[in-house]
Amino acid sequence: MKTPVSVLGTGRMGSALARAFIKNGHPITVWNRTPHKAEPLAALGATVAESVDRAISASGIVVVNVSDYDASAALLHGVAGTLRGKLIVELTSGTPQGARGAAEWAKAQGANYLDGAILATPNLIGSAQGVILVSGPLAAFTAHKDTLLSLGNVRHVGEDPGTASTLDGAALSQMWGGLFGTLHAIALCEAEKVDLAALAQQWTESAPVIEGLISDLIARTKAKRFAGDEQTLSSISAHHGALQHLIEITHMRNLDPALVEAYDEVFKRAVAAGHLDDDFAAMTRFMQRSL
């Protein structure tokens, strides 16, 4: 028999997680604060528990997926005595600090704890695109890897329980950088009466260029190669000059300048410190406000 798993929280994501375990033949027990939302899973073969402690006692692995860490803590703290010897897999989104605090608390209850970040939407869970990063004790991950792989492309990213959440924040930052940048691009095209079809085509062509710049930025920062050299793709000076044109047109067309002015604030710190000729990667040193 495959390893039994309990899932606390059967919202959109929790239900997808439970379905993926069921599809892989794991006996599943689910609990949800609003019981009727768990009923569709019963039709698929899940046992719907009447209480959190009954759900926990049904399995050695307890997957938690509720809206936030406060909700999760309220659930688990209420049944602390039932957690000894269990593996808690916290897949609720949160902060690195929250993950570390939850890990400490779980350890004090005699439970193992893995913290995960889901980088996918519910429809992708159980597939290769269902990327889930997990951090915490490698031994706990390795022991239950086969079970966790039911959820998709599940990867262990570090012993520090805060690592998955940190990478989740990094992914959100990159995603919103692109999405908010595109909001500004759309506003600019609309103000200048440029067909959005042209923007769509340009994006297809420029996306690989931007991807190359981002990969280069990460690699150079890791290698601390901040000074401009023969491999530099573009200096701070080149980026800073181009931004001034974007700021000008933004004000001329009465667009919201908040984004472009925020970029300029970081440039100003780098320029004031004399880094105009450095590689763009030197900008990473000016993202900390204390510098």
Give the footprint of ligand NAP on this chain (CB under 6 A).
9-14, 32-34, 37, 65-68, 71, 74-75, 92-93, 118, 121-122
Q: Which residue, 16, 248, 44, is CA-closest to 150?
A: 16
CA terminus-to-terminus distance, the chain: 57
CB of 105 to ligand NAP, least distance (A): 17
CB of 63 to ligand NAP, least distance (A): 11
Closer to ligand NAP by Cβ: residue 98 or 136: 98
CB of 82 to ligand NAP, least distance (A): 16
The residue number with the shortest CB distance to ligand NAP is: 11
Q: Give me 16's structure tokens.
A: 């997808």
Tell me whether residue 137 is exposed, middle or buried, using C-beta atoms within 10 angstroms of its C-beta: 0 to 12, 13 to 18, 19 or more: middle
36 Cβ contact partners less than 8 Å away, ≥ 6 residues apart: none
Closer to ligand NAP by Cβ: residue 123 or 234: 123
CB of 255 to ligand NAP, least distance (A): 30
Distance (Å, whole) CA 80 – CA 101:
15
Closer to ligand NAP by Cβ: residue 162 or 228: 162
Distance (Å, whole) CA 144 – CA 147:
5
Closer to ligand NAP by Cβ: residue 63 or 282: 63
Closer to ligand NAP by Cβ: residue 74 or 170: 74
CB of 244 to ligand NAP, least distance (A): 38
250 Cβ contact partners less than 8 Å away, ≥ 6 residues apart: 184, 188, 256, 257, 260
